[in-house]
Chain A
Amino acid sequence: MSSSKVNIIRFVLNDEPVEVLVPPTEILLNTLRERVNVKSIRYGCGEGSCGACTVLVDGKPRLSCLTLTISVDGRDVTTVEGLSKDGELHPIQKAFIEHNAAQCGYCTPGFILLLKALLDRNPNPSRDEVIDSLSSNLCRCTGYKNILEAAMSVVRRR
């Protein structure tokens, strides 16, 4: 049988190999925060409604509160810490700073990662496509205008 009972999970987190021993039903959000100590992943609603826990798995956006850790075995996981290279912030991160697109900052990593996933999929999205794509993420400070401006500034620079 090619199926496997999985307990030891190995994945690549921001270009670094990670090995964790997890209960089979643990969600990725808890693994990253509690076992790997990545605190940029935020617990918001725990049911896929707010997007604060967004990560990229093999470059695609995943809500880590709805993702079992065992499902990322052998995959690449990216958090916002993985976007900067050699100390240089990613253009999306720079745009968020330039446009004051963070207020309390709780939702910011999720928005940045989701925007990266969108731009990797579609380098030149329309404003409506950006709004639609980001609509799964909530900003309880209601700072959407600046977030959208930051997003569109990245699109325009491409």
Chain B
Amino acid sequence: MSASCEVYAPSDLKTALHLKSRYRDDLHVVAGGTLSVRLMSANAIETKNLMLLERLPLSFIRVSGRNVQIGAMTRLIDLIDNRLPKALVLAARSVRGLSIKSMATVGGNVFSPSPGCDVATALMALDAHLTLQSMNRKRSVPLEKFYRGPLKYSIRSNELVAMITVRNPPQYSTFTKLTPLPNSGPTIASVAIALDVNKREIVRRASVAVGGITTHPYRAKYVERFMLNKKLSNITLDQVEQGLVPKGLTIIKDANASSEYRERMVPVLFMRALNSLVKEVSRR
């Protein structure tokens, strides 16, 4: 870790964007610190300049009708809020312990690789969009298209993630994950499902995101298409299993689980998530 780097702690977004524009990739950005400070301490990155985001006014949750706007600096603990889609609440709740929940931010989580991307997995199932802001421009990018490969993101060197928006989320959503600990813990695999059904429980909209097994979450498009126009309770595992983990993915392995185990757990988690939605829909 360099002891001679310049440090900035801007209190307004304009100043932060000016610094990002000036230093570009030579500015290491720290949101909650759970990933960025760890990388610095491990000497995994060398930085000449440092920008702390925590004084920026980007910690907010705005719910307007069926739309939700979440500031990038909102802490995960603040997502445990009944006004938000259930998948998002469950994902935040599943993050290990009060300390990490109180430090980690939503904006940081979308950059975080597995096993630290639970909230990003839920957001992807909810079709979330990121607002990327630079000095002169603001643009919206679907989270799904934000990931261009392992640790490669669709963000320019002069931009910051300012806000995450979920527009008109499906009526039902859930998130489930497998961890080596009995309660919340590091993710081995996770599945988030969001869907709308009509009165006869026919699926009218479905999105399925898988997290924890690849560097970043992904959408199971085949499964989503298959679910459309099917009665929710009639969907079985053998119909969708092959589409949950498409061939060609590079599945991670770590001390918690092998890649084979991760892959095999995805269908199990999908069915757990689906069954919980079937029960929820039948209770309405």
Interface residues of A (CB under 8 A from B): 1-6, 23-27, 46-48, 51, 54, 60-63, 65-68, 70-71, 73, 114, 117-118, 121, 128, 131-137
CB of B221 within 8 Å of the partner chain: no
B11, A2: Cβ atoms under 8 Å?
A: yes
Could you tell me if A6 and B9 are in contact, using CB atoms closer than 8 angstroms? yes
A-B contact count (CB 8 A): 116
B12 at the interface (CB under 8 A from A): yes
Residues of B within 8 A of A66 (CB): 33-34, 37-38, 41, 103
With contact pairs A25-B40, A67-B33, A135-B185 given, residues A114 and B98 touching in the complex (Cβ less than 8 Å): yes
Q: Report yes or no: A1 in contact with B97, Cβ–Cβ below 8 A.
A: no
Q: Does B96 contact A (CB under 8 A)?
A: yes
Determine the distance from Cα of A50 to Cα of B51 in the docked complex, in whole angstroms: 26
- Residues in A with CB closer than 8 Å to B5 are 24-25
- Chain B interfacial residues counted at CB < 8 A: 39
Interfacial chain B residues near A1, Cβ < 8 Å: 10, 15, 18
**Structural contact, B15 and A6, CB atoms closer than 8 A:** no
Given the contacts A2-B10, A5-B7, A27-B37, A136 and B52 also touching, CB distance less than 8 Å: no
Closest approach, in angstroms, between the C-beta of B174 and any C-beta of chain A?
A: 18
Please measure, in the bound complex, the distance between the C-alpha atom of A146 and the C-alpha atom of B194, giving whole angstroms.
40
Known: A25-B1, A118-B98. 18 other contacts (CB 8 A): A3-B8, A5-B6, A6-B9, A47-B42, A48-B99, A61-B98, A61-B103, A62-B103, A63-B99, A66-B37, A68-B37, A73-B9, A117-B98, A117-B102, A132-B184, A133-B97, A134-B97, A136-B96
